[in-house]
Structure 1
Amino acid sequence: MPQSHEPWYRHGPPPWPVPDNPYAPEGYGPPPPPPPRRRWPLAAAVLALLLLFGAGTYVLDALSRADRDRTDRAGAESGAPPTATPPTTSTRPAPSPSRIPTAAEIARQRRAGEASAWIVDDRTDLPRRHIPTQDLWIVGDTVVQAVYKRVVAHRLSDGTEVWSVDLPTPVCETPVNPTPDGKVVIVLQNVEAWTGTRCDQLRMIDLRTGKAGWHEQLADTDSGDDDTIIVDSAISGGTVAIVQSMKAAAYRVVDGRKLYDIPMENPGKCYPGRLAGGSRLLVLADCAIASYGKEYDQVREIDPVTGRVRWRHRTEPGRRIGQVLSVDPVVITTAHRETHAEDWRVVALGPDGGVRRTIDPRPKGLKHCGDSIDTSANAQQCREAVVGGGLVLLGGTDRVGAYDLDTGKLLWGVKDKGTSYGYYPLRVGPGRTGIVYQLGTNGRAGRVFRIGPGGVDTVKDVLRLPASTARAEFGTAVVGKNVYVGDRLVITPAGLNGDDNRREPRMLSFAP
């Protein structure tokens, strides 16, 4: 039986570590004290390291040291974040080239009960800087991704490269979803340069055939913005919508013909900033931005064919939209404009844009996607949440929980004792269960498990990832992207380092 002063979980035997069961039914006992802030792997700290050192080896080394520091928990929690000497003054010897294991080597070292795996060692020549990776697209039996100046498809079964398309300039932006028949429109830079670039080149790619299609240049918006530096895009049906310089328009994916300008409401007060696509097309806008304390965000559903506004929803004054967790049903996160991720909610909307349910996950220690709010980035990039079957699953550094979108009640949840670097929900399964990816550590492989009502007592492994890929998995996924198709997990880092001495896998995949 749990002690009266520990109402949130009972300690169970930890074979993996098995997650404990911290969550009692809603209303059972007082809320727990706020969890202590961790140095690792908060997204802000990791991304700062990425900017300082580039993705890959340095991040991996720093996190590995943090891993070892866990043996002295008190010291680790009270110490300051590690700093690094700039490369120009470092006395560290030059690193030797990283060696990436081959798929054949991984297969030979596979132990009984472990998942099969393949790995992509992409030897594309990259500039010696951090190169962001783009969205992962699943089309037929391939996984496709754009990186730098290439779009590459790999066969899901074994990772073999099926086709690639070379691009004239680097990729700026890709939509999260392709069209139903497997086409995307990507945004490229106009030139390859450090300064003076514009993200104004559109190119269609057929992801089923690997053929490049039409190419068009975005027209100037006459907004006074000389450079279209940041753009956002989304595809819904056969329409691609583009936001540039606080204006938005829609184009036909098949031939690039402009369909309409997305209507601007309250001109001078509301500006479109981000998009979300898929089965619906959503436009997110910043409003009343000059009215301190009264700023609000607006989300509209747009008919992708005609541009007609189907409904509108605006946040309360002083709150903004963080991420779109789902477009059908529409589920978003909101946060206070000043306290940011410290004051966040999950908001489920009804078919007319009205509030269906507001959920506050903070009493259970669940934090906003990556523990940050970034309204300049893609609105559909939240690895820590998935929606389906009337539930929203929320993950984090050391826990995962499921909330009912109708009642707002927590149905189940688990957490560990601080030995994990992340729980990433992948899918809602039958019987209100969830499929979750638990990232391992530098020396211990992760796993994919199923969990349902009943918490820890229902946990069952779906994939036990190979011990031989633990280091590669950790370096790839700790700041990365993932997709789950069938029973296969595919992970990729958020960025690559162009330094050949710090080479990393570009993709890693696991299946039964």
Structure 2
Amino acid sequence: MPTTKEVAAARKPGEASAWIADDTTDIPKQINPVHDLWIVGDTAVQALYRKVTAYRLSDGAEVWSVTLPSAVCETPANPTPDGKVVVFRHERPDNERGNRCNQMQMIDLKTGKQGWQKKLDEPGDEDDTLIVYSAISGDVLSAARGQRAVTYRMSDGSRLHKVPSEKKGACFPTGVAGGAARLLVSSDCMVSMDRSKNYGQLREFDPRTGKLLWRYRTKTGWSFGALISMDPVVFTVYNNEDTAKDWRITVLDPKGKHRVTFDARDKGFEHCAGDGGGDDIQPCRGASVDKGLIMLGGQDQVGAYDVETGKFLWGVKSDDLRHLYALRAEDGRSMRIYEAANSREPGRTFLMGPRGAGTETEVVKHPAATAAWEYEMFMGHTAYVDGRLVLTSTHMSGDENKKPVREARMLSFAASP
């Protein structure tokens, strides 16, 4: 794998400046998840195996790292407004099955300093902590596991309140979502052995008090899928009898009332860009909401829908089956789009509007010197900040013999000065 200095030396006229980050820490020869990507100040921070690392956005240099006693098994999508997060790690240092995900560790992402630590020790079967989902809402941490959810104060880890089940336990919490100071909780309502009679719920709670603010119920026979946006609330739902292919996008108003549901399948879009990743309800990769647009991406296409009406506005397809992702909405109805690398060429970022293909502007060509590593990161985590694109994989194998190139830890591009 080249160094950032070698990448700069190989840069051709018109190509973006780039840095590439390596991490020589040994990780097991298995599929190791690369967790949520956090942008805090002038750093990009992420957890892999037992290590949480911050890289400087300007040049990819490692600013700090924290090595934990066991592997990280869950992270929230967002930190607190002042840059703190709680990572969940395994109970034991081994990689054997049955290793519970029940150790909580607070970390200040600005400095790398560790804060409070405690065990997720709420009542119930401890095996319920094999899989945990978490979210941060302002200064409140929520954790869902085993048909229950609970919240904690971020400052000291003290417990705040439990998220209740409903209908005598038939409607139980399955996922949590945060961001800003909002807490959304998804639930499955298993009222019958017949899946066509079950349904899903989405509830918003006051994170600090636990007061229920509103409740939205899906149609009978449908369940909550994944959250696309917290504000406005936009999410996917799926048909209980065809969970793989039959899905829709739903938009709620500020009071949790139904605004519109629409079907994006007729334009060829797949659920969360065809991501076959984990069961966290946040984020829905390949989908986002910005400036009144619901932006959907995926293999070979990207498009925009109106968030008020669900009306399709415009879209574009790639000619060579590249993954396309909308990074953000620009003035008017335009979008800044990332076109991922393929096995032959590097990717690029460009600005495009309703006029479609052939009208790209502000094209940023990614360097050929990093194309092989960029290709390894397709369908990965992305962040766009101050004109800089940051990419990582979602998994790293730890077995270099099975990869055509040594896996990069992180990769970033910015427009040429």
- What range describes the TM-score normalised by the shorter chain of this pair? over 0.9
Residues 189-208 of structure 1: matches in 2 within 5 Å?
Answer: 189-193=90-94, 194-208=96-110
Which one of the candidate residues 223, 226, 244 is aligned to 1:323? Answer: 226
Residues 66-77 of structure 1: matches in 2 within 5 Å?
Answer: none
Residue 175 of structure 1 aligns to a residue whose secondary structure is coil
Specify whether residues 355 and 458 from structure 1 end up closer, same or farther in structure 2 by C-alpha distance, changes over 3 A only.
Answer: farther
Q: 2:41: which partner in 1?
A: 140
Specify whether residues 225 and 210 from structure 1 end up closer, same or farther in structure 2 by C-alpha distance, changes over 3 A only.
Answer: closer
Q: How far did 1:471 drift?
A: 1.0
Residue 273 of structure 1 aligns to a residue whose secondary structure is strand
Specify whether residues 361 and 196 from structure 1 end up closer, same or farther in structure 2 by C-alpha distance, changes over 3 A only.
Answer: closer
- Distance (Å, rounded) in 2 between the aligned partners of 1:343 and 1:372: 15
- Distance (Å, rounded) in 1 between the aligned partners of 2:347 and 2:8: 17
CA RMSD after TM alignment = 1.5
Work out whether residues 275 and 285 of structure 2, in 8 Å CA contact, stay in contact via their aligned partners in 1.
no
Q: 1:309: which partner in 2?
A: 212
Is residue 2:127 matched to residue 1:214? Answer: no
Work out whether residues 187 and 224 of structure 2, in 8 Å CA contact, stay in contact via their aligned partners in 1.
no
Name the one with the larger strand percent: 2
Work out whether residues 225 and 245 of structure 1, in 8 Å CA contact, stay in contact via their aligned partners in 2.
no
Q: How far did 1:373 drift?
A: 7.2
Q: 1:498: which partner in 2?
A: 398
Q: How far did 1:380 drift?
A: 1.4
- Distance (Å, rounded) in 2 between the aligned partners of 1:412 and 1:128: 44
What is the aligned length?
409
- Distance (Å, rounded) in 2 between the aligned partners of 1:101 and 1:345: 43
Q: 1:511: which partner in 2?
A: 414
Residue 255 of structure 1 aligns to a residue whose secondary structure is coil
Q: What code does the residue aligned with 1:496 have?
A: M
Q: 1:333: which partner in 2?
A: 236
Q: 1:260: which partner in 2?
A: 161
The sequence identity of aligned pairs, in percent, is 49
Q: 1:290: which partner in 2?
A: 192
Q: Which has the higher contact order (CA 8 A, sep 6+)?
A: 1
Q: How far did 1:137 drift?
A: 0.4
- Normalising by structure 1, what TM-score? 0.78
Work out whether residues 77 and 282 of structure 2, in 8 Å CA contact, stay in contact via their aligned partners in 1.
yes
**Structure 1: gaps spanning 5 or more residues:** 1-99
Q: 1:410: which partner in 2?
A: 312
Q: How far did 1:361 drift?
A: 1.2
- Distance (Å, rounded) in 2 between the aligned partners of 1:210 and 1:226: 30
- Distance (Å, rounded) in 1 between the aligned partners of 2:411 and 2:147: 37
Residue 275 of structure 1 aligns to a residue whose secondary structure is strand
- Distance (Å, rounded) in 2 between the aligned partners of 1:471 and 1:442: 7
Q: Deviations over 1:252-279 (max 9, x none)?
A: 1111011111122223201111111102
Work out whether residues 319 and 334 of structure 1, in 8 Å CA contact, stay in contact via their aligned partners in 2.
yes
Which one of the candidate residues 472, 480, 487 is aligned to 2:380? Answer: 480
Specify whether residues 208 and 219 from structure 1 end up closer, same or farther in structure 2 by C-alpha distance, changes over 3 A only.
Answer: same
Which one of the candidate residues 171, 174, 177 is aligned to 1:276? Answer: 177
Q: How far did 1:398 drift?
A: 1.1
Residues 425-444 of structure 1: matches in 2 within 5 Å?
Answer: 425-444=326-345
Which one of the candidate residues 258, 261, 279 is aligned to 1:358? Answer: 261
Q: Deviations over 1:377-409 (max 9, x none)?
A: 111132211101111011121111111011222
Which one of the candidate residues 453, 459, 474 is aligned to 2:354? Answer: 453
Q: How far did 1:504 drift?
A: 0.5
Residue 458 of structure 1 aligns to a residue whose secondary structure is coil
Q: Deviations over 1:90-110 (max 9, x none)?
A: xxxxxxxxxx11111110111
Q: How far did 1:420 drift?
A: 2.7
Work out whether residues 128 and 145 of structure 2, in 8 Å CA contact, stay in contact via their aligned partners in 1.
no
Q: What code does the residue aligned with 1:478 have?
A: F
Q: 1:77: which partner in 2?
A: none
- Distance (Å, rounded) in 2 between the aligned partners of 1:109 and 1:225: 53
Work out whether residues 341 and 371 of structure 1, in 8 Å CA contact, stay in contact via their aligned partners in 2.
no
Q: What code does the residue aligned with 1:209 have?
A: T
Residue 197 of structure 2 aligns to a residue whose secondary structure is coil
Work out whether residues 273 and 297 of structure 2, in 8 Å CA contact, stay in contact via their aligned partners in 1.
no
